[in-house]
Structure 1
Amino acid sequence: MKLADWAPIIVAGVTIVGGVFQARRKRPMTREIVKQDVELLGLLPEDSEAKELLAKHIDATVRKIVEDEDQRTREYAGSCLAIGFLAVSVFLLASCVARGGAWWWLAAPAVFIGLLGATGLGQDAVPRRRDARGRPL
């Protein structure tokens, strides 16, 4: 099977992955939600129980932002390395599919490298609290 036969599948996969990233990007951030909650708080009547409850929720959310979210970071070098591993894995899998025959032995290292890349991306791309050397706390 030629690589040209896989082109429509690759294009469809890239489209799906792009759509997923775009959908995740459109979600409002925590600070935007707090801003909307503050605006809603101003619209509620003074004697409302919901106003007190919403004020406590806003206070807790702001406290969490200050204490936790501002200290969480991503490890960009590890994320780039993991993406590189995933790219090598895809290239090896595409090569073994395109050439067939004895090239199927490339599937084993491709799967291993892909697992390393996926694990590394899961560890380094997720925002976490980290020490000075970038290790997760």
Structure 2
Amino acid sequence: MLSLDRDGAALLKVAKLVDCYLDEAAVDANLTLSEFITLAGALPSHARAAADGLYRAIDTYLKVLFSEQTKLHCHIDWSGSFNSLRSPNGGLDPPGRCLSKREMNAQQMEIRKLKEDVYRLQSQFNSMQVQKKKAQC
């Protein structure tokens, strides 16, 4: 029984460590959504006494995505490429609280709109490039 309690305590410590790692990794520009999900799901559900650390990491990840999309919308390089948009710390203050479902839905809708704007602008740019080449010939 003592071994089981010790193992349980060790698992809780590992879960806390993984959640802290996730919170730090959430601002990494190279971390994909699937990698984030894989890391978040690496532990069994009973490993976490509370999901606060995991929620904080998810909140941080979503804020970086939102921040990146906002910057992407404002900093399009008209040569067709994009400026480096993420700073090493993700340009975020430490997370203060988790977002409500309504706030998350609003952010997700804004991200979708921003993506559509970027695709529209890219399409217009490509069309203008084709017209420019035709005019030069």
Fold match (TM-score > 0.5) = no
Give the structure with the larger helix fraction: 1
Find the structure with the greater CA-based Rg.
Answer: 1
